[in-house]
Every structure is written in structure tokens, then in C-alpha cells.
Structure 1
């Protein structure tokens, strides 16, 4: 994203010293007002210097034709300054400037040079007075200055690029993180949201103890270097690093200590992140889409909003999208099967309608390979139905009643 966009949050102190957030147009307008103020102050300062120098030059021109008399006054009078003011009608500043000139400089005064300087100063004085009196002239001057800057820093040496453009190299994101020793770990998350990581892959879940009144909800066999994706009912996805989960001593910690889980939100799914994998997200109202797991990672406790759910709705199921068809069953026990490629690939959104319900809601979903058939548990065994012609349809249809023997829980797998 850094190659195509530039995020900018302009927290500034305005001209009055008040902190505020400005938009780009406001910042540019404030900059132009500042440049206009600088131009006015600079022009007033320069006008003052021009008037000062002009006063002195006119004084020098008054004494120029009678330098010898000036020298006699300086040599013979007790108060030469007052005498110069009286004889040559000078101002006190002019007389002071004449007295401060060295004798050799008095003799070097040239009328032609003084006249030339006076004409130049008077011309500059008129230009500065016109500039200060006319806002349009000041705006034109600013435009000239910006043009000069553009020319100076354009195609010339000052504007030449200092860096070279090259193809961005492929970056190994894993190399950016401190290496984590890869060890087998069993991640356990209870129904009340207590999470922990046990060493090794626990084969018998009955060995795991929970707090009184709590029970198993999610159990994953992963590696200590893996990352987990946790989905909440409000449509957010959070990233958890296995190596940072609390150890197996005790009952773990509430998952809310690691993420900012919204009040009232429930944990819907906990999955091991697969860099190249994709997931199916489905809401209770029967809408869903496919998402690449790489697009779901987040670096903050707040996670990432993935599915947009309206009031009264919730993210209901998140399953790996491995296969070519999707089976959807509603609380009305109607089953619909359609090709997986009818679903859009999104990184965020509400999704499209998977199954239509007159009364009821989405109960469960399963992605499978049509050639291998649709399976579900029946007691201690698994039943597989390969002839699905009666339930094949298009996305958004209502479907038909589930086959005989389908679980009364309306689920393709036992509740986690």
C-alpha cells in the first residue's frame, strides 16, 4: 500500500496557535495566507530600508557641490552638526551621516553615482508602495515566486532525483520477525473464552481439564511458529501468535486479554492461518463470500472488520474453502448444493445470498469436492452421499429437504 497511497493525518497548530485537524484545502489556504503575510512584512521592512538610504543619499547630494565648505565647518565649528543642518538644510540623520563619513570618503563622493542610486531607490520605493497597496499585485508576485521555485527545482541540477527507481524485491515476511522455535503445540479455547497452549499434540482431549462449569470449544494441533485467526460474531477477525499464548499451567487466560473483543460479541471460529489458504464466511441471514487468509491478518488488538453484519444478524460460520462445491443447510432443514465459483472473492463486505429462507436462518455450511460426495457424522460412523442431483442448484435458491438420516442438529460436523 505504501507504493500506491500516502496516509496523511494533518494535526496542526493554526495561525492563532490553536491545535486542530485540517484538510488538504485548509492547509494550502493557510500556507498561502502565511506567504502573503511574509511578503507584506518583507516589503514593509525593505521599504523602511529604502527610505532610510534615500534620505542619506539626498543629504550627500546637497553637500556634494560644496565639499570644501563642509570640511571647514567640521574643522572650525564647535557644533558642526547644527551648522550643517542650518547651512545645507539637512535633517539630523543626514548631518549625522555626513559627520560619520571619513574625510577621504567625502572627497570620493561622485555626483553621477549618487544620482543613479537615488533614481534606483525612488523606483524601488514606488514599486514597494504599489505592492503594499494592491492585493492583486501581491498575489501576482507570489505566483512569480512559485514559478521561480518550480524552475529552480524542476529539470535542473537542484531538481534532479537523488535516488534510483528499481523493481521492488520480494520480501520474506518471516525474516522480519524474530525466529520462533518450531514445536508441536495444542491450542485449547474453552466455551467461556479461556485460551492456552499445551506442549505437544494432545491425543486424548479427555486429559484436558477446564474450570468448573466450562468445557472444550476449540482444540487445534499447531506449531509454536503458527498464527491463529479468531473470528467474532460481529464480523471481526483477530490474529493471535501461538508463541505468545499463555502456557498450559492452570486454565489459561481470557482471550479478551490478547484482543479487544467487543462487548456482547462471541467467538465463532478459531483456525490456524494458512498463507495460501482461503475461507468461506457465512452470516446467520444466509449471506457469504470467500476471503484469502492473507487478507485477514491484522497487527493490532482491534483486529480487522471482515464481514459487515446488520443489526440482528451475525457472522455464523467460518470454514476452510477446500473443494469445488458448497453445501448450505438452513434451520428449516432445507439443503442446497452449488458450485463454489459462484461466490465472490472479497476482503471485506456483506457478501451475496447463499440460500433463501422464508422462515428460518442459515444453520451450517460445508465446502467439499463433488466427486467425493457430501459427508456427515451419524453416531460413531460417517455417512457419505454421492448422488446429490436432487439438491444441486444455483446460489440463492431455497433448496430441498435434507436427505433421510441427516443430523437433527442441522450440522455437517459436531458442534465445537
Structure 2
């Protein structure tokens, strides 16, 4: 039987195994591979394997900042051929992101050609673009030639690649990272390198130092403002999880004549400018923000988006709050500091823990580089000692070389040289035998001796290592300090209140309309405030007629009350137009056709409503408690069995009395204070009836008297000022109404 290469006694073939066990084992292997070798960055250098391999390949191609550019196709070919056996497009996409100054706070690749733009356009194909390393990448890889990190074989064993980079640039937090693995993800926003290095120097002195004394918040390559409170930012950094509310930077530009326009100069991180402008244009076309008239993209190398208001009287803050709420001018950038620690174990770290892990790695690098340098010094001193022996015994060395068949063996025996020393002497050039060269060798040896003593003291004394670390960090900080163009902070940390609720008037263009609801339930809204008394103004289908008609604005909410006690809310701007006869109102709300509409009025103009059922029970309800959010409406009055909601009338602030009249034509007047105010229920008995029920009820100001229409086309009204005969306590039976009161027993 054939045997497995990994174990000579392990048979291979087909085996029976539970499917769930086999699947879980294989999926676990895939999941771990995705987590550790693809999606999560290492806390020590902040890179994923594909980025590390890209920079390593470019370094081997000698694409340093001082050299010329090479085609990206050459780099991608080396990467997928030697180190990263994945698709060329995925590798090139990773390389493109390393070169985009709007995606990376400190780009690691210096690209030449079309590498995409902030509008969202893609980069050109890799056969057209060229690249080389930036100084940041060089700093990140500093120490690779000094045994600072381990090298491992590549996937095919033909090459070597570093396990991570040793450089003293805090890449993880400075450039951030994003990735989705199996069952976990990471999202780290970019930060300011100078602030990170200041915090790192504080951690060198005190591992429990407060890093937030130095790191104020994210620093995005596209600028903008982080508007979260300091406490929220601190909580996110302490747990390693949270998010940052990022807004665009804008300014107000005034024009001659009192006009103005708002100009966006920086947009939130990760937002494509082209799609952002499409969002704003869609708001204008759909009239979702009518106070905004136009948007123009006047960007060149710098972002410049111009927003024009509908009128100069528009409140600019209201307009911007609306845009922040409705577009990506304000976004949330997540923080999930999930990284691989030095044991290659994924875990969520706090900001301090991540920085301290990086500092700890830098101490390891410092020790390895120091040890490597000591080895090099020892090797060099060994050779220099051999050269000095040769100079002191130059004539004898020459004689041995000229006369002996095996001069190396003779020199080793006679002068107690090592093999390396003897080989170096034999390889010396004749021009090196000058007397001056002897002094140079002695000078070099003395310098190496001094350096060796210093390095050995450095390894032996932790305090010296700390001082050396702070000195090196300070040197790097000078390169990326806030006074440099690259190091200057771009994002402002500026607490701001959450965006205000946009007034309805800002969302909907305010226009006068006339709302008409017919007896059969057909509703429409005519433009303007038409004359409701003109006989030829309102037209209806044959057999139909007016039920409710009133003037309103498109910004109003309309309340419709049905006889079963449910209230429905309609948006005035959503009503069908005035051409034709309208549409059935029951198509807009869940109202059965056999249920009668009792009342219909604008909600915004009222504060309280009088509700009375047919059995004479009622109460006063605040209008705010009758607004329904869904098509199903809201139950406000719950009439008793056999009764229905009969009256819904607005209560004016000055009304102090209630008048009620029954089917038996008896009227009662009582103080409104005797009526209860509630949000839902049956209410109290307004009037007692021996037979029949309630016909109508109304609230009024007692000092003004009670008025009613006299009927006919004259439009005249009659007012009864002396109501003392009908004034009684709530729940009384009442008496016959004044002479001339309408025969339909309604107050009009």
C-alpha cells in the first residue's frame, strides 16, 4: 500500500468518517488560514501578508525612493510567482491601495500613472502604471539586513521572506487596517504618526501612561471633523471597539447682494466623491430637501463641492444638518482593534495595549540588531587583528607566500592565526601594503572596540535601552512631526451636537393647498387656497358631494377620525392632485368601506380636540396623542358597545365652556373644566338622555355667546349671548334650545 509522505506508517486511501466532523475539521483549517494569513494585520508591523510581500518584492527590486520607477506588472509578477500564489488582480488592488494618498494616511508606495481617485474611478491596468517605495516603507523595513526579524521559506521553499517588518514606524495605527476573516473582522482608522510616537515615548517610561494625553483621535487622509465627545472617544480606545462620527469640512462663502453658498472642502474618510454628489443630486431631484437648489463639483486637485440654497433666507445650519442626516457628508467610521499579537493569536486590544505591543517589539528588534552588530564587530576585529599581524611581520609573510606550497597552513601555525585571518591575508591586494594602511587599521579597530563596549553595556542595562529607544523614536518623529507637510494633522477633533431633527418645512416645500374629502371618500388637494363658498369651485362625481373641505399647507399633517374611534394621519404633500376627482382615501389607510369618517382637519393648527360618542360620553385629547405612524391608525376613543364616535371638534385655547345637544332637541351648557382630558378611553357623560343619543357638541368662549348658522345662501349667523337658562352641571338633561336653532340639531 502507498504511504503518506508525512508519516511512513500512516496509510492513505478512503476512510469512513462522520460528515460533520470532517467538514468542521477542514473548515477550521480554512478559517485559521484566513484569520492568520490573509485578513488580520500583525500588531507589530500593521501589515497583512500580501502587503508585506509586495514591499519585500519591491525592496529586492531596489525600488527605493531615490531610484527610478518600474512597471507594476513587474512587481505583481514577482509577488505572485515567488511569494503570494494568489490572483494577480487581488495583488494589484492591494498595491494600488498602498499608493492612494486618499486611502492611506502615509502611503507606502509611490505610484506614477493612474492609481484611481477619490471619485471612485479605478486604477489603470498594471501594465500602464509604475511604482517605487516611499520613505515610509523604507523606515518600516529598516533593519531587515541586520537580523532584526526571522526569515521563513516561501511557499515553494525556493526563496525567503520576512515574517514581519522591524522598522520603527507605527504602521498599524498610523495607516489603519480593514479586513473580514471567518467569524471576525478588523477595522482600524488611521492616526497621526507624531502623536503615536509621543505616546510610545511615554509608554517607554511608564507602561501604564495615559496614551490619550497624546493621541486625540483618528487622523484621516481626507481630513474632515471627528465630532464625538471626548468621553466617547476615550471609551472606544479603552475597549478597542466603537465608532467615530466623521463629518465633512465646510465653509460659508458670501456673495454680493446678500447671497451665499456652502462649500465642502473635505469629505469623510472612505466616501467616494462621485457617489456623494449623486446622493445630493438625488435629494434635489426627489425634492427631499427643497431648501437645497443645486450642487456643483468644482474640484481639481483639491475637493470643492458647492451647495446652493433655494433662497438667501435659508438657514445654512438647517440645510447642512439635513445633508448630514440624509447623505454621507456624515458617516460613522468603525473601530474594531482586532489584530494578531506576537503569538499570532487574534484578539481585540485597547489603543494602549496595541501601542505597547509595538514598543515591546521594538525592544526585541533593538536587542537583535545590537547582537547582530556585535557579531559583525567581532568578525571585523578578527580580520583586523590578522592584518596587523601581517603588517608587523610583513617580510616573513611575503617570504612564506613566495616559498611555501601551502602558505595558509604555515601562517596559521607560525602566527597563531585563524583560518579566516589567514585567508584574508592571502587575499590582500598589494596596494594595501602601504604604511598608511596600518594606521587606518589600528584606528578602525580602536573605534570598533569602543563601539563594542557601548553595545555590550546597552544590552546589559535596561535603562540604557530605554534611553536609546526614546532617542530613536524622537529621530523618527522629526521626520513625521506636525510641522512637516506629511505629518501635519488633517482631521480636526471638534465635539458637535447630533444633527437636529430637520423641520418638516425644510423637507417639504411649503405651498398652500385646498384639501377636499367627498362623502364617498374621494380625496384630493387643489393648488392654492380656493374659494370654498363658490358653487362652481368644487366638482364631484355624480351622486357624490362635499364632506370636508379646508385650506392647508403641504407641510401639514391631516387628522382623519373614523366612527369606530381610530385616528389616521395623512401627509398633505402626499395627497393626489386637484385634477379630476382624486383617489379613494381608503387606499391610503386601512379603513373599511362601511365605517364612516367623522372628522377631518389639519393637525398642526390645533392643540386639543373634543371627542364625543353617540351615547353622550366624551373627553378632551391632546392632538399630539392622536398622531398615527402607520396605515392602521391609532385607537383614541373606545366607544361602548352600540355607540360610535359622533363628534370631533377643535378646542381653541380661549374656549371655556361646552355645549351639547341631543337627538331629543335638548341643549346643555357646562364649564369645560368639568370634562376630563385623557389620551384614550370612553370619557365622561356630557349629557343625560331619556331617549335617543347625542346629536352634536362644541366648545366656545362663554363671554362671546353661542353662535350658529341661520341657513340659506346668505351666510348669516345668529348668536345667543344669554345662556344662563341652559347652564347646568355636566350630565344634566338640558332644555329646549333658543328660538331659531337649526332643526338638524347641529351647531354648524
Please state which band the TM-score falls in when normalised by the shorter chain: 0.5 to 0.7
Cα 1:275–1:216, aligned 2, differ >3 Å: closer, same or farther?
A: closer
1:310 CA drift (Å): 2.5
State which of 683, 703, 724 in structure 2 corresponds to 1:389.
724
1:315 CA drift (Å): 0.3
After the TM superposition, which parts of structure 1 deviate over 3 Å for at least 4 consecutive aligned residues?
169-178
Query: Is structure 2 residue 692 aligned with structure 1 residue 360?
Result: yes
1:205 CA drift (Å): 5.0
Root mean square deviation of aligned Cα? 2.4
Aligned to 1:123: none
Deviation sequence 1:309-347 (CA, Å, 0-9, x none): 123210001001121100000011100000111111111
Q: Tell me the distance in 2 between the aligned counterparts of 1:172 and 1:236.
A: 31
Is contact 1:287-1:351 (8 Å) kept?
Answer: yes
Q: Tell me the distance in 2 between the aligned counterparts of 1:387 and 1:177.
A: 44
Q: Tell me the distance in 2 between the aligned counterparts of 1:267 and 1:320.
A: 16
Is contact 1:275-1:294 (8 Å) kept?
Answer: no
Residues matched between the structures, number: 251
Cα 1:264–1:350, aligned 2, differ >3 Å: closer, same or farther?
A: same
Aligned to 1:303: 633
1:382 CA drift (Å): 0.8
State which of 179, 183, 196 in structure 1 corresponds to 2:511.
183
Q: Tell me the distance in 2 between the aligned counterparts of 1:360 and 1:320.
A: 25
Is contact 1:276-1:294 (8 Å) kept?
Answer: no
Cα 1:251–1:182, aligned 2, differ >3 Å: closer, same or farther?
A: same
State which of 571, 574, 578 in structure 2 corresponds to 1:248.
578
State which of 614, 628, 653 in structure 2 corresponds to 1:284.
614
SS at match of 1:366: strand
Aligned to 2:590: 260
SS at match of 2:507: coil
1:192 CA drift (Å): 0.1
Is contact 1:188-1:197 (8 Å) kept?
Answer: yes
Cα 1:331–1:308, aligned 2, differ >3 Å: closer, same or farther?
A: same
Cα 1:242–1:205, aligned 2, differ >3 Å: closer, same or farther?
A: farther
Is contact 2:505-2:555 (8 Å) kept?
Answer: no
Aligned to 2:567: 237
Aligned to 1:271: 601
1:252 CA drift (Å): 0.5
SS at match of 1:337: strand
1:227 CA drift (Å): 0.7
1:387 CA drift (Å): 0.6
SS at match of 1:400: coil
Cα 1:276–1:249, aligned 2, differ >3 Å: closer, same or farther?
A: closer
Is contact 1:275-1:293 (8 Å) kept?
Answer: no
Q: Tell me the distance in 1 between the aligned counterparts of 2:627 and 2:605.
A: 10
Aligned to 1:314: 644
Q: Tell me the distance in 2 between the aligned counterparts of 1:212 and 1:252.
A: 14
State which of 196, 201, 209 in structure 1 corresponds to 2:529.
201
Gaps of 5+ in 2: 1-237, 244-496
Trace 1:13-52 onto structure 2 (pairs within 5 A).
Answer: none
| TM-score w.r.t. length of structure 1 | 0.57
Query: Is structure 2 residue 553 aligned with structure 1 residue 218?
Result: no
Q: Tell me the distance in 1 between the aligned counterparts of 2:662 and 2:538.
A: 33
SS at match of 1:206: coil
Q: Tell me the distance in 2 between the aligned counterparts of 1:170 and 1:339.
A: 45
| TM-score w.r.t. length of structure 2 | 0.32
Q: Tell me the distance in 2 between the aligned counterparts of 1:250 and 1:282.
A: 35
